[in-house]
Amino acid sequence: MLEVVLSFVVILVVFLVLPLIIGQTEHKVMAHMQSRLGPMYAGGFHGWAQLIADGVKFAQKEDIVPAAADRRIFMIAPGVALVPYLVVLIVIPIDRDRVAVHLDLGLFFVLAVMGIGVLGSIMAGWASANKYSVLGGMRSAAQLMSYELPLVLSASSVAMAAGTLSLPGIVEAWQWWWLPWQAIGAIVFFLAGLAELRRPPFDMPIAESEIIMGPMTEYTGMRFALFMLSEYAGIVVLSFLTTVLFLGGWQGPFLPGWLWTLLKVFFLAFLVIWLRVTFPRLREDQLQKLAWAVLVPLALAQLALTGIVKVLT
């Protein structure tokens, strides 16, 4: 019992610390890549206090609820968007013996729970009593539902290759030659995950230049901060899942397994930030075309390739 409690405490600490580290890293990477001076000043040396300044800013802002809003739904929507990522971390292995809950259907559980996050955007948009927010919530729902299919299909190819839905089991079955074999599925999974997080260049539903901030238009203070935290927590979860499914998780030479996992996670998180500062935002029609005309066929092709290899071997 004590071991389980300690595991949950460790996961909670990871959940609270890693998104903040990635948020701070994003400030610095974007500052260097786009010559942004603002994030380099707070606190003096290299802007080390930028994250603290952001936290103080959110804490000081007034918590406003629109008069016509559905107050109960409006208030719980940020939590609905954030909590699924905490639940998902419970079943993701960091090392061979470091996983809080070992589920035989771990991959199924992860994909099912992550789908709940869609409700947070829909609830926020509908409860805000704002037409822009409703439109942003509908766009978010359409995007998340569209990219759910290639996400599930690409993850299924790895489960088929490993012969199990257990996340530790998938890592144990992983071989180095899976890198080229599952490369298409890895790219599809990663891009679909970015779209589900509404990260640039897939951020049309919350683009300031389009519909203000989509379902988050009416949110202020700490509730808005929770939506931002859910985005960075989603980056952590996406990086962990991509590492476990396609990069061998804790497998690697010389270094401890947990360190290999974290190195791969931080590399993927850096890639997420890099994509944000590199590519322009996609239009709504381009978003849907990419999902249905490109990623879904590629995911199906990966499934077919996996089936052929499994039959031949």
Question: Does pLDDT of 16 surpass 80?
Answer: no
pLDDT category, 238, cuts 50, 70, 90? very high
Please tell me the distance from the alpha carbon of residue 159 to that of residue 197, in angstroms, as a whole number.
23
Contacts of 101 (CB under 8 A, 6+ apart): 90, 91
Question: Can you state the angle between helices 296-312 and 131-162, rounded to 10 degrees?
Answer: 10
Sign of CA dihedral 78, 84, 86, 87: positive
Residue pLDDT, tens place only, 263-272: 999 999 999 9
pLDDT confidence of residue 50? 80
User: Would you say residue 167 has pLDDT above 80?
Assistant: yes
Q: Choose the most confident range, by mean pLDDT, from 43-52, 122-131, 237-246.
A: 237-246
Confidence of residue 140 (pLDDT cuts 50, 70, 90): confident
User: Is pLDDT of 275 > 80?
Assistant: yes
| 64-86 pLDDT tens trace | 888 888 889 999 999 888 888 88
pTM: 0.90
CA distance 203 to 280: 10
Residue 4: its pLDDT value, please?
64
Residues 194 and 238: their CA atoms lie apart, in Å, by 8
Q: Which amino acid is at 177?
A: W
Look at 304 and 36; give whichever has higher pLDDT. 304
Distance CA 95, CA 102 (A): 12
CA neighbor of 192 nearest in space, from 157, 155, 150, 232: 150
Q: How confident is the model at residue 95 (pLDDT cuts 50, 70, 90)?
A: confident
Give the residue among 192, 165, 150, 197 at the shortest CA–CA distance from 302: 150
Length, in residues, of the chain: 313
Between CA 77 and CA 232 the distance in angstroms is: 17
Distance CA 167, CA 194 (A): 21
- pLDDT tens per residue across span 280-304: 888 888 888 999 999 999 999 999 9
pLDDT band with cut points at 50, 70 and 90 for residue 2? low
184 band by pLDDT with thresholds 50, 70 and 90:
very high
pLDDT more than 90, % of the chain: 26
More confident: 312 or 166: 166
**Res. 211 pLDDT band, cuts 50 70 90:** low
DSSP 8-state symbol, 91: T
pLDDT band with cut points at 50, 70 and 90 for residue 170: very high
Question: What integer pLDDT is reported at residue 64 of this predicted model?
Answer: 85
